[in-house]
Amino acid sequence: MVQWDVVSFGETMIRLAVPLGERLETATRLEVGIGGAEANVLVALARLGRRTAWASVLPRNPLGERIVRELAWHGVDTSWVQWVERGRVGVYYLDTGVPPRPTAVLYDRAGSAVAQVDPAAFPIDFVAGGRWLHLTGITPALSVGCRAVAERLMERARAAGVPVSFDVNYRSRLWGPDEAARVLEPFCAGATVLFCGEGDARTLWGLEGTALEVAERLAGRFGAGVTVLTLGEGGAVAVTREGERVTAEAPRATVIDRVGAGDAFAAGFLHGYLDGRDLERGLRTGVALAALKLTVRGDLALISAAELEAMLSETRRTIVR
C-alpha cells in the first residue's frame, strides 16, 4: 500500500551559521538550524502538500531530538528513524559570506551515528510504501555502511517497482573525484531520474561542452529515463531516453542564502513531475522553487504551495524545447 509520495535515507546535521557580516573566528553567537540534502528535499515537498518519509540513524539526545522534531513539524514522517543510545550528530558551521567574499563551510561530521549504521540491521521495507525513492551521492560517501544501505534501498525499490531519483551532489570534503566517480556509477545507472550539476559532470567524468551536450553525454553514459543537468544561475536542461530536450532559465532572485538551493530544485522537479511525468512542468517547478529558496535563510525551502504557484505563473515563458 502506498503511504508516501517520496521517501529517502541520509544524514541531517545541526547547522551553526554566523550572522551576516560577522566571521566564525570572532562570532559570539551562532544561528542554529538543521540541514541535510535528503531531508531538505523532503521538507520542501512536505510543505507543498506531499507525503514524505525520512529514514536515518540518530542518537537519543537533545540534538537528535531537535532534528526529528523539526522535520516532523514541517510534515515529514520520521517514524523510520533508527535510534541509538550512543553516538553523535554531525554539525556544520557556516561562515556566511557577502559578495565578493564567498561563504565558507566547516564540517564536523566524521563518525556520526548514521555513519556507524549496520546495513544488515537497518530496515528498508518502508521503500515499498513510497511512490518514489530519492537518494544523493552524499550518503554513499559517509561510510561503507551508508553506501550499503543506499544500495539495498535501490535494490528494494527496483524489486517493488518504485522509481528512483539520484542527485550526484559531489562533496570534495568527503572523498576524491576518482573514488566518487567509481562508487556513484551504479547509482547513476540505476536512476529513473538523474540530477547532476554541470561542475560535478566535469569533475567526476570529464564532460565538457554546451549544457545540452553534457546532458546528452550523461544520458548516454548512464541511461536514465530522464537526465537533468543543473546550471546554477543558468537554469537547467533535461533530456529523456526518447530524445526529448527541455531547457529552463533560472528566474532572477535576491540571494539571501545559497545553501539548499540545489535540493530545492530537486524537490521542485519531483513535485512538478510526479503526477503526470511532465518534463516541462518538472523543470519549471524546479527552477522556480530553487529561486524562491535563495530568498530564505537556512537549508530548508520554507515555501508554500501558493507562493510556488505564483512564481510559476511568472516563469511560464522560460522554457525552450
On whether the CB atoms of residues 178 and 148 are closer than 8 A, the answer is: no
Whether the bond into 100 is cis, omega within 30 of 0: yes
0.75 exceeded by the pTM?
yes
On whether the CB atoms of residues 216 and 196 are closer than 8 A, the answer is: no
Sign of CA dihedral 267, 272, 273, 279: negative
Phi, psi of 246 (to 5 degrees): -135, 135
Task: Kindly list the catalytic residues.
Answer: 263
> Which residues are CB-neighbours of 155 under 8 A, at least 6 positions away?
none
* CA trace torsion 88, 18, 235, 211 (10° rounding): -70
- Please give the domain boundaries of the chain with CATH numbers for all domains: 6-320 (3.40.1190.20)
DSSP for 233-276?
A: GG-EEEEETT--EEEEPPPP---S--TTHHHHHHHHHHHHHTTT
Strand ranges (E), the chain: 6-9, 13-17, 31-35, 52-55, 57-59, 76-77, 82-84, 91-95, 104-108, 133-136, 164-167, 193-197, 226-230, 236-240, 245-248, 319-320
Region class of 25: left (phi > 0), else alpha (psi between -120 and 50), else beta = alpha
Per-block average pLDDT, block size 10, for the chain (321 residues)?
A: 96 96 95 98 98 98 98 98 97 92 94 97 97 98 98 98 98 97 98 98 98 97 98 96 95 94 98 96 97 97 97 70 59
Selection from 49, 18, 17 nearest residue 270 by Cα: 49
Cell numbers 523543470: residue: 283
- Can you tell me the distance from the alpha carbon of 190 to that of 9, in angstroms, rounded to the nearest whole number? 16
What Cα–Cα distance (Å) separates residue 300 from each residue in 271, 279, 294?
16, 24, 10
Q: Give the residues across from 167 on adjacent strands.
A: 136, 195
- Can you tell me the distance from the alpha carbon of 31 to that of 35, in angstroms, rounded to the nearest whole number? 13
Give the 3-state secondary structure percentages of the chain, helix then strand then coil, rounded to 5: 40, 20, 40
Strand ranges (E), 18-56: 31-35, 52-55
Phi, psi of 93 (to 5 degrees): -105, 135
